[in-house]
Chain A
Amino acid sequence: MRGASLALLGVLLIVSCGGDDGETVSGDDVVVQMFDNRYEFTEVTVPVGGTVTFVGAGRNPHNAVSADESWSTEDVFGSLEQLDGDEAALIFDQPGEYVFFCTFHGNPEGDGMAGTLIVGSSEG
């Protein structure tokens, strides 16, 4: 029994190596790291009322600002300069699709450090 448990733990650890599902993420409570100079996920989907936490994970400061100016990490963090480890958690109550970008490393047209947030069903 103990051998089986050890084997299971080992397999779980090995399987845990493959947890990244690429550039998209979805869930009720999503964390997006902001690397130099890109978002960990470029397509983020949450339900209405879901939370997206943007976390600084680079040497340069980063932020996330909606291209339509309806929301920004500055709204909750108090600054556009999130450094390594700084967190900004936003709750989205309005369904919609938003392009977001870093004002230092991207632009509203989606160049560079930018992504898309879908609140609610991706089918609209």
Chain B
Amino acid sequence: MKWGWLLLLAGTAMTVGACAGPPEGEASSAALGDPATDSPSVSTGETLQVPRDYPTIQSAVDAANPGDMILVNRGTYHEEVQVTTPGITLRGVDRNEVVIDGEFQRPNGVSVLFADGVVVENITARNNTSNGFFWSGVRGYRGSYLTAVNNGVYGIYAFDSSDGLFEHSYASGSPDAGFYIGQCDPCQASITTSISEWNGLGYSGTNASSELNIVDSVFRHNVAGIAPNTLDGELLPPFHNVNVVGNLVHDNGNIEAPALAFEWAAQGNGILLAGGGDSYVARNRVVNHPQSGIAIFPMLDANLYMSYDHQVVENVVEGSGLADLTLGGPSDSGNCFEDNEFTSTLPAALEVKQPCEGLRFPALFEIGSTTAQLGRLFESGVGQQPDLDLTAVPRPGPQPNMPDAATAPVMPAVDVFASTRPDVDAIAMPEMPSDLEVTQQKGINIMGVSFASAAGVFFGLYAYVLPLVLYTSWVVLALWDLAKREDLTRGTTIAWMAAILIIPFLGVVAYYVFGRSTIPVWQRWVLMAGGMLVYLLFLGLGMVVGGIV
């Protein structure tokens, strides 16, 4: 019977938790960094003008040859543009007055499908049900001087692609993310000199890895700021080797910005590394976040992905409600924090215990901040998440235009990364803006369980504190039982006590199963299995209602 219970517990834990294999399927060769491209490397010199030569952008795109430019004059264009010709450049003459408006009826402003080397620049895309600007399955892409406003999923988006650049661009009002790069390894891509605000996430990068730079940009007033992450819905998990350097990240925790459930779970964090590894977070200025300024968490989807070997160095972090630096668990080893300016960490003394140089405590983390995210997902599942209409997002003011847009040289997006790759070691910390003040106060937390939300407290208590209370009671009762037993020799008693005290969890469980405890069997099982089942019940409830499983 004992083994039956153990198998039942193991099976339940595996079913509730992490039991699936990696997602099946093949990413495109472009997403895997294959340098082959269908794009010409130079322009043809031909320019197709809209609306002078072609009444719609799509009609010009359909007529264009690889290497041509389509120059779009001022106007609001009510159409969806799909590009399947490689190497063309789609350019507006005025970023603020060339607008593709989806009227909340069409999915994408501009989508580039399997066409390498396509450049889109100096255009606004707004009010699309899915994405503003979207590249998929391409080798070589560039988006410059783009404005994406109030699009239903992502603002500026590259998927299953490599060799790219987003620069001088702006995104707001997207409930998933303003900027998104997903499913690539090596991505060979950069986001730089851009602004992302009033989105679910300022940047999201699901399973996007290697030679990927999020640099020199501003992420503010989003639900959460910068979030490289791992999910099983896309291929190539987990994410790894992402550089997040030299960004100004402030006031992300905006409960009035649109957000989906996953984004709501990240609410209040500035830079969040969720379930990947080997990434480098350096010289960012991170200010005013209700949760953590910079946090490392695991990611639970169909599989559990623990974070590993992230480096958080030389950042300035201030004004955090929970902690400036957080290592949430469970976590794999190798995550480190060094030479940051901060006032609080979770767990305490994080830089002392987890330095990047020298002796490091193995897998030291805390759970309370992780269970808070489960609470947020639960809130979303029961409809307690704020649901902001996209049209309620403040409209941005005019954004800087591309210099000499009508006459600037045309360059297909070939070898983009090689020619624009930033020197991350040379990127400096951004200055503190004169109009930015530290306003976020440190909040109350107990063992990392924040009181920011009722659901967070509930799951913090049942999915974190409860197991610790259970474990403590197991140990106390086992020691009490040993102390009053007269059937054991002194040596056996000492050996069991040592096992119970020194070997976490397994020692006391071994005593109850094999130690012939005088506590009646049924009481032992109520104590161990009953408590664990309650724990699993609440954990499962959170994951089911929260949409994880």
Q: Which residues of A contact B12 (CB under 8 A)?
A: 10, 13
Residue in chain A with minimal CB distance to B200: A59
Looking at the complex, which one of A7, A17, A57, A107 makes contact with B20 (CB distance below 8 Å)?
A: A17
A104 interface residue, CB < 8 Å from B?
yes
Q: Indicate if B10 sits at the interface (CB-CB under 8 A).
A: yes
Taken residue by residue from 67 to 92, chain A's Cβ proximity to chain B (1 for < 8 Å, 0 otherwise) reads as: 00000000000000100000000000
Main secondary structure of the interface of A (DSSP, over half): mixed
A59 B153 Cβ-Cβ under 8 A:
yes
Closest partner residue, chain A, to B25 (CB atom): A38
The stretch from B105-113, B347-355, B379-387 touching chain A is B105-113
Partner of A59, one of B24, B137, B260: B260
- Chain B contacts with A in 47-104, Cβ cutoff 8 A: 84
| CB-nearest residue of chain B to A105 | B136
From B1-9, B247-255, B448-456, give the one contacting chain A: B1-9
Chain A residues within an 8 Å CB radius of B20? 17, 20
Shortest CB-to-CB span from B535 to chain A, Å, is 17
A-B contact count (CB 8 A): 110
Task: Name B1-50 residues within 8 Å CB distance of A.
Answer: 1-12, 14-15, 19-21, 23-25, 28
- Give the one of B12, B20, B21, B24 with max A CB within 10 A: B24
Q: How many residues of A contact B (CB 8 A)?
A: 36
B233 adjacent to chain A (CB < 8 Å): yes
Cβ < 8 Å to B, chain A residues 1-56: 2-14, 16-18, 20, 22-23, 35-38, 42
Within 210-236 of B, Cβ neighbours of A (below 8 Å) are at: 233-235
Asked if A10 and B9 sit within 8 Å, CB to CB, the answer is yes
- Interface presence of B159 (CB below 8 A): yes
Nearest CB in chain B: distance from A2 CB, A: 6
Please state if B4 and A59 are interface contacts (CB–CB under 8 Å). no
CB of A105, distance to nearest CB on chain B (Å):
6
CB within 8 Å for A38 and B235 given contacts A10-B7, A20-B24, A22-B24: yes
Binding site for A on B (CB under 8 A): 1-12, 14-15, 19-21, 23-25, 28, 84, 107-108, 111, 113-114, 129-131, 136-137, 153, 159-160, 176, 182, 233-235, 260
> Can you list 26 A-B pairs with a CB-CB distance of less than 8 A?
A3-B5, A6-B1, A6-B7, A7-B4, A9-B4, A9-B7, A10-B4, A10-B11, A11-B7, A11-B11, A13-B10, A14-B10, A16-B11, A17-B14, A17-B15, A22-B24, A23-B25, A38-B235, A59-B176, A61-B107, A61-B129, A61-B130, A81-B107, A104-B107, A104-B111, A112-B28
